Amino acid sequence: MDSRNEISFSDLGEIEYGAAWTFQEKLLQENLAEKAIYRQVPGSAYAANTRHHLLFCAHPAVYTLGKSGKPEHLLANEQEREEMHVSFYKTNRGGDITFHGPGQIVCYPILDLEYFFTDLGRYMRSLEEVIIQALAPFGIKGERLPGATGVWLDAGTPKARKICAMGVRCSRWVTMHGFALNVNTDLNYFNRIVPCGIVDKGVTSMKAELEENVDIAIVKEALLASFGNVFNAAINRTQPEIITA
């Protein structure tokens, strides 16, 4: 394993979506600044002084719309959102609309892909593989659905349903945003959007599939193990920074 493929992991706990977005942008811009001053010697290995980060968190109830998403896929108007205590953000990630809230594990990798592979499609498939491997010990078979991102159950059947949504941004091969795994998520919130812009398929959670609450701490450990395995990286635990909105 290349020592430069060490990833600093931090669990931010529950944090407002905007504050987490700002923090991600800070880490991304720090890496872009390092890449800007890096000059590769012809014939030498890539050696920019960038850092890889992996953030776990949960958000208070929020709908987020990706830059390619359709506003009409948000079915709840402003008054309804206020009554539901759900905020709304237009973001700079890919993808359409989704929901984040309590009972969900949101993962934001800030990686310099030049230390891994410069292939965004492969990166998305790798994130999917992280989820698929993490779900397996719980007896849940995660799958890919051709033509769609994320992780699905019973893909390719009339019962296909999404358990993990994904949307990323990549700038000069530095990533941000990531995925949201429904663990004990209240799925009723998805009834007020067209999740990921897909009208003919459902959404599920680990709780719904297993018919019981799932220990989120155990799921986080499974995700960390699979992330390190898929990306062939050492995960170093760090103390989270104090973040203010």
- How many whole angstroms separate alpha carbon 30 and alpha carbon 59? 24
Query: What secondary structure does DSSP assign to 36-82, as a single string?
Result: HH--PPTTSPP-----EEEEEEE-SSEEEE-TT--GGGB-S-HHHHH
Q: Work out the widest C-alpha separation in the chain, in whole angstroms.
A: 60
- How many whole angstroms separate alpha carbon 151 and alpha carbon 45? 34
Is-catalytic flag, 170? no
Q: Pick the catalytic residue from 57, 107, 164, 196.
A: 196
Distance of CA 243 to the CA centre of its chain: 19
- How many whole angstroms separate alpha carbon 172 and alpha carbon 163? 30
Q: So which residues are the catalytic ones? A: 196
